[in-house]
């Protein structure tokens, strides 16, 4: 075999191997593409998880802000019966109850939300439905009859330009479950100084982008002006209690809270 023929044979064999190189190259490209897609999907999923967590936290803060706003006005409410019957409302309202449209295009119906809170149906609630015993409302005739108290964009909680939040907060007020008088539209209807005397429940829900939603409920006790706060004694001592009794001020409507804390004995928030 001459050198020329050997070179030709080698060239033919090399030509026959060109197809396998293309296959290897294509497989490598497919593998790299799959890895790239997996990386993109992972990054997107992580971004969505972070956004959902952030939205949930912001919704929680918005609900807390609504609760705090309502608590500021609680000491100025002289008649709790009128409050529980929906005759008293907060100054924080953005018009009459009805439909609202959030900046992200979500629609809220305040009347429907109230019905859902009271009986689980947005269409409306009868007395029997509100008195029904359910896992969410296990107190029967003593179930709270939620009344709209405060509602509006979170941005309206502070002067214009202070906040930049897409969330909307709604606060309801209802009678507490400690009472057993069978009349959730009155505070201690039996007049027997029950454990629920002077106690109401605040329910706040915040709504925002991408379905962000949080709900908070807080039991609030309003002590009689001038009366000592016995639950505070164990926390700060008798000397501090005596000082507070000497300097206690009756809260005026629209004024600031002078004290707010969680009782270790009753589990209620005491306002003064």
- Dihedral of alpha carbons 86, 92, 96, 99, sign: negative
Neighbours of 170 (CB within 10 A): 24
Separation of CA 66 from chain center: 9
Q: In this model, does residue 171 exceed pLDDT 70? A: yes
Q: Inform me whether the pLDDT recorded for 179 exceeds 90.
A: no
What percentage of the chain has pLDDT greater than the value 90?
Answer: 36
Q: What was the pLDDT predicted at 110?
A: 96
Do 216 and 64 touch, CB atoms closer than 8 A? yes
3-class SS of residue 136:
coil
At residue 5, the pLDDT reads 53
DSSP string, 201-232: EEEEEEE-GGG-EEEEEEEEE-PPTT---HHH
| Position 185 pLDDT exceeds 50 | yes
Question: Residue 272 pLDDT more than 50?
Answer: no
Q: Give the torsion through C-alpha atoms of 179, 182, 184, 189, to 10 deg.
A: -70
What pairing do the DSSP bridges indicate for beta strands 147-153 and 168-175? antiparallel
Give residue 12's pLDDT.
Answer: 61
Give the model's pLDDT for residue 190.
Answer: 65
Residue at token pair 């709604």: 170
Structure tokens at 142: 């003593």
pTM of the entire predicted model: 0.68
Residue 101, classed as helix, strand or coil, is strand
Question: In this structure, are residues 76 and 252 in contact, taking their beta carbons and an 8 Å threshold?
Answer: yes
Question: Lowest-pLDDT range, 75-79, 113-117, 161-165, 231-235?
Answer: 231-235
Domain ranges of the chain: 1-222, 226-272
Work out the end-to-end distance of the chain between its first and last CA atoms, rounded to an integer number of angstroms. 111
pLDDT tens sequence across 219-258:
988 765 555 443 333 333 344 444 444 443 333 333 344 4
The answer to whether residue 259 scores a pLDDT higher than 50 is no
Residues 54-112 have pLDDT tens digits of: 888 899 999 999 999 999 898 888 889 999 999 999 999 999 999 999 888 889 999 99
Identify the weakest region by mean pLDDT among 14-23, 107-116, 120-129, 175-184. 14-23
- What is the model's pLDDT at position 40? 81
Distance of CA 183 to the CA centre of its chain: 27
The per-residue pLDDT for 177 is 78
Chain segment 52-67, per-residue pLDDT in tens: 778 888 999 999 999 9
Between 185-189, 203-207, 238-242, the lowest mean confidence (pLDDT) is in 238-242
Q: Which two tokens stand for residue 104?
A: 């992200």
Tokens of 52: 């959902």
Closest CA to 166 of 178, 156, 177, 176: 156
The CA distance from 189 to 191, in Å, is 5
Q: Quick one: pLDDT at residue 181? A: 83
């Amino acid at each position: 075999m001459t050198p020329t023929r050997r070179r030709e044979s080698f060239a033919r064999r090399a030509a026959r191997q060109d197809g396998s190189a293309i296959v290897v190259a294509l497989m490598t490209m497919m593998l790299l593409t799959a890895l790239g897609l997996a990386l993109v999907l992972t990054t997107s999923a992580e971004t969505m998880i972070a956004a959902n967590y952030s939205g949930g936290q912001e919704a929680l803060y918005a609900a807390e802000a609504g609760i705090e706003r309502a608590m500021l006005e609680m000491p100025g409410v002289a008649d709790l019966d009128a409050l529980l019957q929906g005759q008293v409302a907060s100054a924080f309202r953005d018009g009459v109850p009805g439909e609202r449209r959030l900046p992200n295009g979500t629609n809220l119906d305040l009347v429907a939300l109230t019905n859902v809170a009271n009986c689980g149906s947005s269409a409306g609630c009868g007395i029997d439905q509100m008195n029904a015993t359910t896992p969410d409302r296990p107190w029967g005739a003593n179930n709270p009859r939620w009344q709209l108290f405060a509602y509006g964009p979170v941005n309206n909680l502070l002067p214009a330009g202070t906040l930049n939040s897409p969330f909307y907060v709604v606060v309801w007020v209802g009678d507490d479950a400690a009472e057993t008088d069978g009349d959730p539209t009155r505070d201690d209807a039996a007049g027997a100084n029950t454990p629920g005397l002077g106690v109401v429940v605040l329910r706040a829900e915040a709504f925002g982008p991408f379905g962000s939603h949080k709900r908070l409920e807080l039991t609030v006790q309003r002590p009689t002006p001038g009366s000592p706060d016995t639950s505070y004694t164990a926390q700060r001592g008798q000397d501090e209690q005596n000082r507070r009794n000497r300097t206690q001020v009756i809260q005026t409507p629209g004024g600031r809270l002078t004290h707010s804390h969680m009782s270790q004995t009753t589990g209620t928030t005491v306002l003064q």
